[in-house]
Amino acid sequence: MARQMVMVGFLQAQNCTNLPASWRHPDSRTDFLSADFYREIAHVLERGKFHLAFFDDRLAMPDRYGGDHVHTVEYGIRCVKLDPIVTLMTMGMATTRLGLGATCSTTYYEPFHVARMFATIDLMTGGRAAWNVVTSLNDGEAMNMGRDGVLEHDLRYDRADEFMEVVLGQWDSWEDDALILDKASGRFADGARVHRLDHVGPYFRSRGPFTVPRSAQGHPVVIQAGQSGRGRRFAGRWGEVIFVTSGSIGMGKRNYATLKEEAVACGRDPDRMLLCNLVTPVCAATKAEAEDKMALIQRLPLEIDQLSLLAEALNFDFATKGLDEELTDAELASFSGIQTIRDRVLALSGKRNPTVREFMQLSHRGRPDDAIVGDPKGVADRLEEMFTEHVCDGFVVAATHVPGGYADFVEFVVPELQRRGLYHTDYTGATLRENLGLPRPELGAWRHAVPTSV
């Protein structure tokens, strides 16, 4: 069968989409504290045959800017964050085929706990669960979780590697045919087919046996979005669905090849790793209508949205600087969050010491400037180019407002992609893995993924 796109909805269990200004959009639903809000999004995505809906997460509201939360709350800059896993269940109960992913940090939870939550969701949804593995990035999260500050970047990934060994090890505790449930003989399960992990490592200890049997899809799908060199090695070892952001076709193709090589270097089949590129579509029946929609959206963001989100993501207080003041070498080196944002701004500005304003203009953080605006043909053309040029295997679709951002995509772009044979017309399987074309993992298969490139 011809290669087809994977479609993922980029969701937030919060008061706005990843565009903070989205809550001010006239068509945004404001009942984001209700289950019905998430159910409607789930229905829209399933109508559009999305493979997966996934919630991002951060364990703090953005309060790094000025060391204060008042601006965050006043302007609604991602200040409400519900628990994504609990919210996910409301969507799971409202759908039958849509995959369901949530973000959970390897830095602030115990692996046994994370393994049990996601394995349970996987069972409750008939094998549709996925876990977005993140290492967390700023001091606000650290302080909410009882630490003084964020751990050093690469150390977070070293711990995360071991975290994965424990989670996957626990998920493999129960062999597939361990359950017997024979009332006549009185045998509930085969004791020889349920194993203890007995993990003892530098960062974690976890004994087992695990308390949740395997699901229809074996275990939840692992999502990852590491972008730094260390992050990409991690993604190459563990990730089955990878989120990427590509500046251009050329850069995206190189990034695609690098990530697939990381998987090969770990002894993995690169086709079992699906790269999904972040896109923000703004679409309508005609190009002119789409441009009108975009003009409205462009008027929504505030300067403070950008400053606050940059401070949050880079873990640096931009309020200590004037907008046109250059960042010093020491300040740039101290950024401990998403380092690719810094590296891209340095590359795009061609400067060693960009100003705060250049960070705002070149990162586009908190703004929808990189949206794909157009009629069905125009948007589909752009997605087709990225897909056929091997920038990605599919897309993480962000919304400028909800549910309208998704509803427009499903109404205008999905039928055009289906007409071109680039996107499936219906779900072919029951589990997320079946719909993604990923095989059900053998017990212990992950143990073969050992990096040789490091």
Ligand X SMILES: Cc1cc2nc3c(=O)[nH]c(=O)nc-3n(C[C@H](O)[C@H](O)[C@H](O)COP(=O)(O)O)c2cc1C
Count of beta carbons in the 10 Å neighbourhood of residue 1: 7
Q: Which of 225, 290, 356, 399 binds ligand X (CB under 6 A)?
A: 225
* Candidate residues 20, 127, 169, 226; the one interacting with ligand X per rule CB under 6 A: 226
Q: Which residues contact 33 (CB under 8 A, 6 or more apart)?
A: 80, 82
Angle of CA points 55, 63, 371, to nearest 5°:
50
Q: Which of 215, 227, 315, 400 binds ligand X (CB under 6 A)?
A: 227
Closest CA to 244 of 399, 391, 449: 391
Are 131 and 121 in contact by the 8 Å Cβ rule? The answer is no
* Contacts to ligand X from residues 118-177, by CB under 6 A: 134, 136-137
* Residue 353 binding ligand X, by CB under 6 A: no
Number of residues this chain uses to bind ligand X (CB under 6 A) = 20
Tell the smallest beta-carbon distance from residue 12 to ligand X (Å): 9
Two structure tokens written together for 254: 């190189």
Residue nearer to ligand X on the CB measure, 13 or 197: 13
Q: How far is the CB of 87 from ligand X (least distance, A)?
A: 13
Phi, psi dihedrals of residue 129, rounded to the nearest 5°: -90, 155
Q: 244 forms bridges with which residues in the sheet? A: 277
Q: Is the dihedral of CA 14, 17, 23, 29 positive or negative?
A: negative
Whichever of 159 and 214 has its CB closer to ligand X, that residue is: 159
Radius of gyration of the chain (CA): 22
Residues 280-339 within binding reach of ligand X (CB under 6 A)? 338-339
3-state DSSP assignment of residue 397:
strand
Which residue, 225 or 379, has its beta carbon nearer to ligand X? Answer: 225
Residue 137 beta carbon to ligand X: minimum distance, rounded to whole angstroms: 5
| Residue 387 interacting with ligand X (CB under 6 A) | no
In the complex with ligand X, the residue whose CB is nearer, 12 or 95, is 12
DSSP letter string, 179-222: EEEETTTTEEE-GGGB----EE-SS-EE----SS--BTTBSPEE
Q: Is 103 in the site for ligand X (CB under 6 A)?
A: yes
**Number of residue whose CB is nearest ligand X:** 231
Please pick, from the candidates 4, 90, 211, 245, the single residue that binds ligand X as defined by CB under 6 A: 245
Give the nearest distance from C-beta 9 to ligand X in angstroms.
11
Minimum CB separation from ligand X for residue 427, in Å? 23
**What does the binding site for ligand X look like in residue numbers (CB under 6 A)?**
10, 56-58, 103, 134, 136-137, 225-228, 231, 243, 245, 278, 338-340, 396
